[in-house]
Chain A
Amino acid sequence: AQSVTQLGSHVSVSEGALVLLRCNYSSSVPPYLFWYVQYPNQGLQLLLKYTTGATLVKGINGFEAEFKKSETSFHLTKPSAHMSDAAEYFCAVIVIQGAQKLVFGQGTRLTINP
């Protein structure tokens, strides 16, 4: 069963506009949550992670995400989009089945319009 769902396979915003990428997780998993970014022909780079503590997590490149247990959400935001933000973004959770593994959402491709 999928443990994380990303809403919207494609998101397009104008340069300078707010970026909002949505991620919901199934409540049966531990709340170890991650956002990764993937540029074309590259591997995945960690943007930010939530494990415990403060629910608002700040990451690299001006991104942040808020863990909301009541909504089982971990949406990614950035106040002002830059052309260099164009990439694919993956939300992921750690699932423990014997040993742990990362389970990824389907990804959201972010396009930035000039």
Chain B
Amino acid sequence: KAGVTQTPRYLIKTRGQQVTLSCSPISGHRSVSWYQQTPGQGLQFLFEYFSETQRNKGNFPGRFSGRQFSNSRSEMNVSTLELGDSALYLCASSAGALNTEAFFGQGTRLTVV
């Protein structure tokens, strides 16, 4: 069974640009969550999608957005990039029910210069 796949693994962008990250969940999983990991703030929840609907959202500015497709693949977009957006972005998939295990991808390392 394939795991959670995130693409690309590494990305370098310039301030002011926008970026789109992709996540393919485990087959059969309908929930996809996104997290931002930085040395200063740790792991912070961005948002969660289930069956193409955003169910939950963290405390991030509107520059951070996401969506989920009918095949459960998800993308997150960050517009008008800032230096502080440099981070490891992790995607997790789960079956979606309460307390089920979340499986994480290897992450996308975004560097904003």
- Which A residues are closer than 8 A to B by beta carbons? 30, 32, 34, 36, 41-46, 49, 51, 90, 94, 96-107
Contacts and interface: CB of A to CB of B under 8 A. Distances in A.
Contacts of B48: 99, 101
Contacts of B6: 43
26 contacts: A30-B99, A32-B99, A36-B104, A41-B109, A42-B107, A43-B4, A43-B90, A43-B104, A44-B90, A45-B104, A46-B102, A46-B103, A49-B101, A94-B99, A97-B56, A98-B56, A99-B50, A99-B55, A99-B56, A100-B98, A100-B99, A101-B45, A101-B56, A102-B33, A102-B35, A107-B42
Interface residues on B, range: 20 to 34
Residue with the highest number of chain A CB atoms closer than 10 Å, among B33, B56, B58, B101: B56
> Taking chain B's interface residues, is the majority helix, strand, or loop, or is none over half, making it mixed?
strand
B95 to A, nearest CB: 12
Interface in B68-113: 90, 92, 98-99, 101-107, 109
Given A44-B104, A45-B104, A104 B99 contact: no
A105 B42 CA distance: 8
Given A44-B104, A99-B48, A32 B56 contact: no
A34 B101 CA distance: 9
B96 to A, nearest CB: 9
B19 interface: no
Nearest to B54: A99
Given A102-B33, A103-B45, 19 more contacts: A41-B106, A41-B109, A43-B106, A44-B90, A46-B102, A49-B99, A94-B99, A98-B56, A99-B50, A99-B55, A100-B98, A101-B45, A102-B35, A102-B102, A104-B35, A104-B42, A104-B43, A105-B42, A107-B42
Given A44-B90, A94-B98, A97-B56, A106 B42 contact: yes
